[in-house]
């Protein structure tokens, strides 16, 4: 069997399980700023989140709804569009970095951390006084 025309890794999972895995990893990355996972999952998450960040940077209603669909929680989607994406406007691509870290003790799998390239500053929310 040939590999022509096949994109992405299968991870030994069905399509919906694979999509849920990438959605969960991307959501964790947005919430925490840095996650550690296996190297292959980190590389696939990098491909996935780059496309989501590009949509978040446009920020109009249609792209905002696509970001909400691409992440697991609305809170993470709002954080990406309102707080993180405005800080990434200096780049056209390459928003995340994958760095190999260690071998996992249990099975010897290569682990890697995935994080944002730019230093993200926490945005303080203004309190509304009534």
Mean of the pLDDT values across residues 10-25?
Answer: 96
Range of the domain at 109: 15-116
Selected residue with higher pLDDT from 47 and 1 = 47
- Confirm whether 7 is domain-assigned: no
- Confirm whether 4 is domain-assigned: no
- Confirm whether 122 is domain-assigned: no
* Entry pTM: 0.90
- Confirm whether 8 is domain-assigned: no
- Confirm whether 60 is domain-assigned: yes
The pLDDT-based confidence of 120 (bands split at 50, 70, 90) is confident
- Confirm whether 130 is domain-assigned: no
Tally the domains of the chain.
1
| pLDDT per position as a tens digit, 20-78 | 999 999 999 999 999 999 999 999 999 999 999 999 999 999 999 999 999 999 999 99
- Confirm whether 78 is domain-assigned: yes
The pLDDT-based confidence of 7 (bands split at 50, 70, 90) is confident
Buried b (16+ CB within 10 A) or exposed e, 5-17: eeeeeeeeeeeee
CATH at 104:
3.90.1030.10
- Confirm whether 126 is domain-assigned: no
């Amino acid at each position: 069997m040939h590999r022509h025309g096949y994109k992405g890794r299968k991870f030994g999972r069905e399509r919906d399980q694979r999509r849920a895995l990438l959605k969960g990893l991307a959501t964790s990355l947005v919430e925490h700023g840095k996650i550690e996972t296996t190297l292959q999952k980190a590389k696939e998450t990098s491909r996935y989140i780059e496309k989501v960040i590009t949509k978040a940077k446009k920020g109009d209603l249609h792209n905002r709804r696509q970001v909400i669909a691409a992440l697991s929680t609305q809170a993470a989607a709002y954080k990406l569009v309102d707080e993180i994406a405005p800080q990434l406007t200096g780049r056209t691509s390459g928003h995340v970095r994958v760095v190999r870290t260690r071998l996992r003790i249990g099975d010897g799998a290569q682990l890697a951390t995935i994080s944002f390239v730019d230093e993200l500053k926490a945005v303080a929310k203004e309190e509304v006084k009534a």
